[in-house]
Every structure is written in structure tokens, then in C-alpha cells.
A and B are shown apart, each in its own frame.
Chain A
Amino acid sequence: MITILQQHSAALLVALPLLFAFLTPLTAKLNAKLSKLVIFIGLALITLTAAIVSFDVFSTGTKLYVMGAELPSVAKPASLTIPVRIIFEIDAFSAFMILIAALIAVVACVYSLRFIKESTSKYYSVFFLMLAGMFGLLSTGDLFNLFVFIEVLSLASAGLIAFRHNEVESVEAAYKYLIISSLASLMILFAIGILYGQYGLLNIAALAKALRFSFVDVVALALLVSALAMKAGSVPMHFWVPDAYSRAPAAITALLVVASQACLYALFRISFTLFGAFPLIQLIAWAIIILGLLSMFVGVTMALPQKDIKRLMAYHAISQTGYMLLGVGLGLLANNSAMAPFGLKAMEGGIFHIMNHAMYKSLLFLTAGAIIYATGKRNLDELSGLAKKMPFTTIFFIIGAAAIAGLPPTNGFASKLLIYESAYMFNPLFSIIAMIVSVLTLVSFVKVFCAAFLGPELKELADVKEVPKSMLLAMLLLAFFVLLFGLFPSFVVKTIVEPAANALLNQAAYIGAVL
């Protein structure tokens, strides 16, 4: 059983969520209890598979899975010069992202147990579909599959954003999200068409080797980068983020954060692996850095005047995406130059920040969800004095807020410090902007803390109670990781972040695994 699971784990990572997406509503027709059990088994199996895949990759290196081949690990028959089958290629960076996605999926599922009361089978069915899209996007080694999984991911996300369809705002947010994401994926498809028309290849590794960087290739690169930056919620096209994040159920918002990061993963995969040898890659690096700085600054300034608690946090999510773009963009800029050691540090910071952001941002969204669950209100003006009523939520909120503002001893501090230090070596201005944004973030969260948790107790909120235990458990799990990674950052950086950064930089290894 375990050996089969190990051998086919890469395929199962996508197949299992699809299977359970189908089984959940089917069993719900028969028996509600049975359906709950199926959901648990499904989640446990998916998490186990994700853990096996990541463990395999971190211990033995890049993992290949070739669909339909006699031996799944052999990329192509000896008689062919190019790979023709669908290939999943999981390197350390993909494994790193898969770990994050699996962790947040577990947390979101535990949180949803009591949080989602009606039409649970539909909810979990689409939830599994979203996981299938996410894991597929993170593990595929084929450009067309990348498009398909992005579409699966965005359709499932849109469905879940509109889950509360009796509130018309949710449906509008989902509609907006769907327009942006289908426009982005059509741009990606067009770029894939351009590349396929010239080289007749779809495999990322084979294509990376064959690219000649003609003018139309550059057009394809520009289309891919702008479409993926759009989907990741970077600044010029960020307006779907506050709507979608604030209107989706809180557990789904946590998953949406990871979904945006999966698109960020695709952006980095394209710019590092597919176009890594492009002579003018510096231009792309600068584009990513400038997008990052803009996202940081615009996100946080838009967050300051917000009254809606989840909307405020959504703007901070845009701002934090900027840190990841800045860190990894600097890494791309410095690749193969004298600044490479600092570039690597910056990239480690950016990649570590992806993981940390997924944790503390999810934690913050879950606390916001808890506040809305308990009080039914989302406007900061109508909230007050919740610290006594909801002591645990308050503690989790403080941990999350400290992490997002980059205060020690939380994980946000660890990754931001890496970014500050290395960005300073490129241009002190980068570090200064990053620090100012952090201070503004702190200001904004102090405001939320004072407005919602401190202050006099309101009469309307007299019968507010702490949220159910399963929701607290989910938040506890995230808060634990936030503090753990803040206390032992160097261990985490050594074991998983550094391999991920190196995998991204080492284009030759990615190509060599297939060809």
C-alpha cells in the first residue's frame, strides 16, 4: 500500500482530490454521516500523499511522474528526442509549495467543520476540486496542463467565493474574479499557442532548452508574466483581491491566499525556469521588483482607511505579496552576477515569506471570520470590547498581527529581516520602503486591535460568545506554526527554504531531469 502510494504519489496528488470531489456529494445523497467520514478520509489521504511527495523530493531530489508510461520515472523512450507524454515534475520549490497548500487545506477543513452549516457536501466537493487545481498547478511540468489546472483552480475558487449566494455582494465578487481570471488564463493560452507554434513543444523543460528568444517569444513572456501577476493579485490588477477575499467564507479566503501564491509559483517558474537563459531577463526582474514595490505601497495605503475588517486584511495581503515579489525579483536580478550571494539571500527571504504569509494571513483571516461568526458584524465601527468575550481569538489575532507587521519572535520577522538585509545591498531605498510599509502595517493592525478588541463593551454585543472549539483548534494550529517558525527560522531556512531557492535558480537541473 505504502509503496504504491509512494510510487504514484505525484499522480495521486491530483487524482485523489478529484475522486473525493466526486464522492462527497454522492455519499451525501445516501447518508450525511457517511459523507462526513468520506471527507475526513479524503483529506487525510491527500495530506498523507502531499507529505510523502514533499518528503521524497526533499530527501532524494526532483521527482518525475510520466502519465501512461511503463515506468513513471522515465521521461521518454530512448527512441525519441523530445518528451511526448504528460509529465509531472516536482522539484524542491514545488514540494515546498505543496507542503504549504496541504497545511492550509487541513486548517481550512477543520475550521469549516462548524463554520459552514448549510450545503456542506457541495462546499467540500468544490473545496476538493480547488485542491486538485492547486496541486496540479504546483506539480505539472507541462505548459498546457498549467493552463488547465489554473482554470480548474479559478473555476472552483469562483464557485466558493459565491458560496454565500444569498448575499449579492459575494456573487458580484465571484463574477469580478471570474472575469479577471478567465482573461488571465486566455492570455496564458495565447502565449502557449505562440510558443507551441514555433517549437512544437509543450513541456517546460524541453521548451526551456529549445527557446531562441525571438521577438514573439518575448511577446509570449510578457503575456505570461502579466497574466500571472494579475492572478497573483499584484498591483495594477489587484482590484479583484479585496472583493474576493472579503466576501468568500473565511476558510476559503485562507485557501485563496494559497491559490494566489500558487499563481506566484507559476510566475516564478516561468521567469526562472522557462526563460532563465533569456539575455534580457534583467528587464523581467526589474518589472517584478517594481510590481513588488508598488504592491507593497499601494496595498498598505489602501488598507489604512478601510472599515470592513476582512477588506482591510485583503489589502494587506496585496501589500505582503509585494515582499515576495521584491525578494524573488532581486534573486532573478542577481542571478549569475557578482551579487548572486545577496540575490540568493533575498530569494530565500521572498520564498520563506511565501510560507509565512500563508500561515499568518490565513490566521488573521480566520480570526476575522471568527469575529464575523460570533457577532455577525464586519464593520470596525460596530465592533468593540471583544477581548473579554473572545479571549482566545484575541490572542490569535495578536500573534497574527505581530507576524504581519514583522515583529519578533514571529515568522514574519524572520523572513522580512532576510529581505531587508539583502535588499539593502542592492539599493537602500528598497529596504527603506519595505520597512515603512511594515510600520504602516503595524499602525493599521493596532487600529483594528483597538477598535475591535479594546474599548467599552457594547450592548448589542452583550451575548457574544467565544467561537466553537474546532475553529479555535484551526487557529491554534496556525498560531503554533507562526511562533515555531519565528523561534527557529534558521532550521526551516536550511531544511526547506534553501533547497527551494536553489531549485528555482538551477535551471539546468530542471531541464536535465527530463531530457
Chain B
Amino acid sequence: MIENIHFIAVALLIALGIYTLIFKRNLIKIAMGISILASGINLFLISLGYRAQGIAPIFTNAAIAASEVQAKMVLPAPQALTLTSIVISLAVTALMLSFAIIIYQKTGSLDATKSRRLKG
């Protein structure tokens, strides 16, 4: 149970994100929903790469014998994926918030139900 706690957190974050997307009508809250969803998925990726007692994959002056490399060293790919995904979700959030600012300036409202002029 306790060693799987990060996967439970992933499920909670994703559920929270989707709940926010579906039920909240405030444009900033929707942006927050996307952001929470992205954090959940980032946590999922980083949890996949976790290895108990693993060491960083740096071969120069490594503290372990060459035979142990396979067993002990952590694969760096999930961390790299997560970093990329964090950068991307930052860009998405920034763009969404700037759209929200423009919509607020023009209409004086952040309510998605009110500002839906595009219908049908």
C-alpha cells in the first residue's frame, strides 16, 4: 500500500483535474484543471522511473562495480520526459491564462457559460 502511494496520488490528481475541466465554468479554474491534470501525469511518469536504492546514471567514477550497473543505475529517460512535459505544460498554462486575460478585458467576465458567443 504505502509503496504505491504515488500511484494513488496520480489517480487523485487526474480525477481532480478532470473534475475541474468538466464542472468548473471559470476560465482560470479550467486552466488550473489542465495544470493539475498535467501534474498528475508528470507524477505518473516520474514514479515509473523510480527504483529503490538506485543511483544516478553517471558512469565516470561510479561508486559501484560494472556488473552492478544494470541492477542499480536508474534509467534517465522518465526524468527527461517529465522535464520536457513540465516545460510544455508551463507554455500551455501561460497561453491559456493570457487568453483568459484578453477575454476578461474584452467582456468583463471569466464565466465560460456567459462568454460563449460561439454556438451551434
Contact = CB atoms under 8 A, between A and B. Distances in A.
Contacts of A174: 99
A247 B38 CA distance: 28
B100 interface: yes
Contacts of A197: 48
Which of the listed residues A147, A158, A169, A182 has the most CB atoms from chain B within 10 Å of its own CB? A182
A172 B103 contact: yes
A179 B34 contact: yes
A183 B37 contact: yes
Given A175-B27, A178-B99, A202-B77, A169 B118 contact: yes
Contacts of A192: 81
Given A172-B117, A196-B48, A183 B99 contact: no
Interface residues of A, number: 35
Contacts of B88: 148, 151
- The DSSP consensus for interface residues of chain B is helix
A148 B118 contact: no
Interface string B3-36: 0000000000010000001000001001000100
B48 A171 contact: no
A376 interface: no
B69 interface: no
A182 B90 CA distance: 12
Interface in A244-292: 247
Interface in A144-174: 144, 147-148, 151, 155, 158-159, 162, 165, 168-169, 171-174
Contact of A196 (B77, B91, B106, B116): B77
B89 to A, nearest CB: 8
A148 B84 contact: yes
A171 B115 CA distance: 11
Contacts of B41: 186, 189-190, 193
A263 B48 CA distance: 27
A193 B34 contact: no
A243 interface: yes
Interface string B87-120: 0110110011001101100110000000111101
Given A178-B95, A179-B30, A182-B92, A169 B117 contact: yes
A186 B38 contact: yes
A200 interface: yes
A155 B117 contact: no
Interface residues of B, number: 34
Contact of A155 (B21, B92, B107, B116): B92
B35 to A, nearest CB: 10
Contacts, number: 89
Given A175-B99, A186-B37, A151 B107 contact: no
Contacts of B102: 162, 165, 168, 171
B58 to A, nearest CB: 17
Contacts of B21: 179, 183
A158 B89 CA distance: 14
Given A155-B95, A171-B102, A190-B44, A182 B118 contact: no
B95 A159 contact: yes
Nearest to A306: B120
Contacts of A200: 75, 77
Contacts of A147: 85
B95 A196 contact: no
Contact of B106 (A151, A171, A182, A243): A171
A166 B2 CA distance: 53
B118 A176 contact: yes
27 contacts: A148-B84, A155-B91, A158-B99, A159-B95, A165-B102, A169-B118, A171-B99, A171-B103, A171-B106, A172-B115, A178-B95, A179-B34, A179-B96, A182-B92, A183-B37, A186-B34, A186-B37, A189-B41, A189-B45, A189-B85, A192-B81, A196-B77, A196-B81, A197-B48, A200-B77, A242-B118, A247-B118
Given A178-B92, A178-B96, A179-B30, 7 more contacts: A155-B95, A168-B103, A172-B116, A172-B117, A176-B118, A179-B96, A306-B120
Interface of A: 144, 147-148, 151, 155, 158-159, 162, 165, 168-169, 171-176, 178-179, 182-183, 186, 189-190, 192-193, 196-197, 200, 202, 242-243, 247, 302, 306
The 10 closest A-B pairs by CB, nearest first: A168-B106, A197-B48, A175-B99, A243-B118, A151-B88, A171-B102, A182-B92, A193-B45, A193-B44, A171-B99
